[in-house]
Amino acid sequence: MTITSIRQQLLSGETNPTKLIESISEQIIERDSQVQAYVSYNLEKALADAQEADISKPLGGIPIAIKDNINVLGEVCSCGSKFLVKGYISPYDATVIKKLKTAGAIPFGRMNMDEFAMGSATENSAIQLTRNPHDHDRIAGGSSGGSAAAVADHTALAALGSDTGGSIRQPASHCGVVGLKPTYGRVSRYGLVAFASSLDQVGPITRSVDDAAHILQAIAGHDPRDTTSLNEPVPDYLAEINQGVKGLKIGIPAEYFTEGIHAGVRKNVEKCISKLENQGAEIIPISLPHTSYVVATYYVIAPAEASSNLSRFDGIRYGNAAPNPSDIIDLYYQSRENGFGPEVKRRIILGTYVLSSGYYDAYYSRAQKVRQLITRDFQQAFQLVDAIISPVCPTPARKIGACSDDPLQDYLSDIFTIAANLSGFPAISIPCGTTSYDGSDNLPVGIQILAPRLGESILLRIAKAAESEIAAKDFSS
């Protein structure tokens, strides 16, 4: 069921918010022990909210699962880390949560994630390992793996995730659902625990493009509490979503269709492009010449910002303090040593290094200059085309543990998604069929669509046109 179909049942009286919450709770009990998407959920609170739900509102009575780095008043916000899992209760609602509640939605469930959103598999969670619903021996993707897995496993109608380098789109692709990263600043970051402040963005993970539009409509808009929030009017995202692609120009970057892409991924993406062309879109080859620098640039800028943001986790202001320290320095040392996992430590150390005296200009400053070149590539491309299409990931979901000894391979899996964060442009992943990979059949493949700044309307319009053409049986390879 989608938000759209459930809304019809709510308005007709066929169901009600209480039955909906109870039904989802039953699904969680029956199914989630295998997938482990949920960190926790408060059924009693959700049922109380359901009793008060106003179904006349746009999302009235609809439960939405929440990634565990978004603050919800009175709930644990663990960020997938030992540092917060036992001792931190959110003292306020994030702006996106307030907006969801204003639209009538019911936040229900805390979703597993890579620790502090650092990872591409949800293997870095200190709480549990989330598995792909399509194959429990494979990753769900990350860092919003719990959000995507729950939606794919039918234990959530929809979810919120956060995207710093592909953390909504990549797990959406691996799990066969829709994941939307809005324009940077389109959705408030107030109440989102920061990883890399110039890259982070909250967005929806859903079962359909229409559902993504519904949630984006609710959470978008200016927020004075977020200094990076854009003070721009929010359009009606559903107004043009069914207008099709006839006459639109869609760019295909040569650098995103090179060696290293799994044959089944490439075949499915190219089939989808062909179907859009048959609908009347003009397909135009383009170039994004600085693509080869994207991963290196990101892994200088993101760790640098993480090093700064995570300095607040010292065992005093936030998080679990180490017992019996010998002095204040020992408290800092032990709290951070025991609280952070290996990947978070790796990125803090890297970020501190590139910001240190003598290395700032060589690494961080240079990376910011390359970031501008990457952004310029997209700006120039969008003068020629209305949108850009690419794969989301080079391969389908890999097996759990395949990159345990080689983090770089995990980093490279985000090569097609990172640029949207560096440039701030909106992007969406939608399912475009299935393929065989590494001994498994019918693994989901995602196609990525990127649009200019504040171009979510055209992004959703193209995504809806692609979605209407896609059936798994037509795209298996």
- pLDDT digits over 421-446, tens only? 999 999 999 999 999 999 999 999 99
Provide the CATH number for the domain around residue 430. 3.90.1300.10
pLDDT of residue 474: 53
> Which residues touch 228 (CB under 8 Å, ≥6 apart)?
184, 185, 189, 197, 198
Contact 372, 422 (CB under 8 A): no
pLDDT (tens digit, 9 = 90+) per residue, 172-183? 999 999 999 999
Domain that holds residue 474: 1-477
- Intervals of the chain under pLDDT 70: 471-477
pLDDT of residue 476: 45
pLDDT of residue 30: 97
**Distance (Å, whole) CA 175 – CA 399:** 13
Kindly tell me the number of DSSP H helices and DSSP E strands found in the chain. Answer: 16, 13
pLDDT of residue 357: 87
Any idea which residues carry the catalytic annotation?
67, 143, 167
Please name the residue that has the structure tokens 């892994």: 299
HSE-up of 3 (CA within 13 Å, CB side)? 32
Q: What is the pTM of this model?
A: 0.97
Q: Go through 415-439 and write b for each residue having 16 or more CB atoms within 10 A of its CB, e for each that does not.
A: bbbbbbbbbbbbbbbbbbbbbebee
Contact 159, 66 (CB under 8 A): yes
Give the chain's domain count: 1
pLDDT of residue 408: 84
